[in-house]
Structures are given as C-alpha cells and as structure tokens.
Homo-oligomer: A and B are copies of this chain.
C-alpha cells in the first residue's frame, strides 16, 4: 500500500535548495550564465521559483566551490577564469589525483579497483562518438571514481569541491579543446600504472596526464 506518491525506492526527493544548486551549477558550467555576469538574488529566485532565503543557501555553496566570486557588498558574479587560473586549478587537481593514484597502489584488493576503473573507461569508450558534453561527463566520472575508490572521504570531497572549477575550465577553454583530453588510451595507461602497484609510476602517469590536459586547455 506504499507510496504511489514519489520518493520511491532510493530516489530521495531533493530539497529545493539542492535542485537550485544543480540548476545553477549547470547554468554556470554550461555558459548559460556567462562569466562575469552579476547575479541578482531576486531575479534568480524568481527564475527558479524559489524564495530568496533558499536561494541564498545555494549561492553560499556555489561561492565556496569557486563558481561565484563576491564583489563589494555581497554582490555575486560568475567567476571569470584566465589562463593562469586554469593552470592553477589543474595543478591542484593533479596534486589530488596523484594522491589518489598513489593511495590506490597501496590498497589491499586492487582487483576491485582496476575492475571499477575499467568499467568507467568502458563507459567512456562506449560514448566516444557521443556528444561533447557526454564525453566530458564520462571523463569526469572516471576521475571522480579514481578518488572515490581510495576510500578517503576527505580526498573525494576536496576533488568534488574542485569539480565545478574544472568544468568551468573546460567550458572556458572551449569544449573542443577539452575533449582532446578524453583519450581512452591515456586513461587505460593510468589504470595500467595503478595495476602494477608502482606508486611512483602511477603518480608520474597522472601528473603527465594532467600536465597535457592543462596544456591542451590553455593552448
């Protein structure tokens, strides 16, 4: 006699705040809200059909994720990235992911790890002819999985906090540039390096991957 209503099974109904958060993130990383644009709370709350209070909570979070920058007197605007900032973001990303790679090498059952990673790559391979957005999505999913599999919640959380900035970097540079980094082979190399259990090699592989990724974006 259960819920014909909605929040069936694992599908939790999200709060308006979370919905707004997703909507805004998408709007920003898709370029719909162009960089430098001033955000007006009353405007947005009206667009999203939510109250300002609820909206403001979401904005605070986006601000902390680095998607928004605060001007004088709390005026928010969509963050603008220049090439240096993109390189900076990728430097931090590289630091985090190289930690992930090293950690995975020292893990007990790398069987499970490499299996999950191969799956993620298979998804990428399957969508290799899909839209740019889809390819980017599956790429990010691979790297997120890399962090998640370490079991280090703090690492995963830090990476996810950076995710918005990463997306903005790709958007900024242009999707056609970003997609250069989606090579399936390069990702297989990473997994192979982890598979050997050689932490130094895995770290080196990731760092190189990130280096070329950043170079591709700002080139």
Contacts and interface: CB of A to CB of B under 8 A. Distances in A.
Interface of A: 15, 53, 56-57, 60-61, 64-66, 74, 85, 88-89, 91-92, 94-96, 98-99, 103, 152-155, 157-158, 161-162, 165
17 contacts: A56-B57, A57-B60, A60-B61, A61-B61, A64-B64, A64-B65, A66-B154, A88-B152, A88-B154, A91-B103, A91-B152, A91-B155, A92-B99, A94-B99, A95-B98, A158-B158, A158-B161
A27 B7 CA distance: 36
Given A56-B57, A57-B56, A60-B61, A155 B88 contact: yes
A25 to B, nearest CB: 14
How many copies are assembled?
2
Contact of A91 (B53, B74, B99, B157): B99
Give the one of A65, A88, A94, A165 with max B CB within 10 A: A88
B92 A155 contact: yes
Nearest to A165: B154
A80 to B, nearest CB: 12
A88 B153 contact: yes
Contacts of A60: 57, 60-61
A217 to B, nearest CB: 14
A96 B91 contact: no
A38 B182 CA distance: 44
Contacts of A153: 85, 88
A158 B89 CA distance: 10
Nearest to A21: B60
A152 B87 CA distance: 9
A6 B127 CA distance: 59
Contact of A85 (B15, B85, B154, B158): B154
A134 B116 CA distance: 46
A132 B25 CA distance: 42
Contact of A61 (B64, B92, B98): B64
Contact of A157 (B53, B66, B154): B66
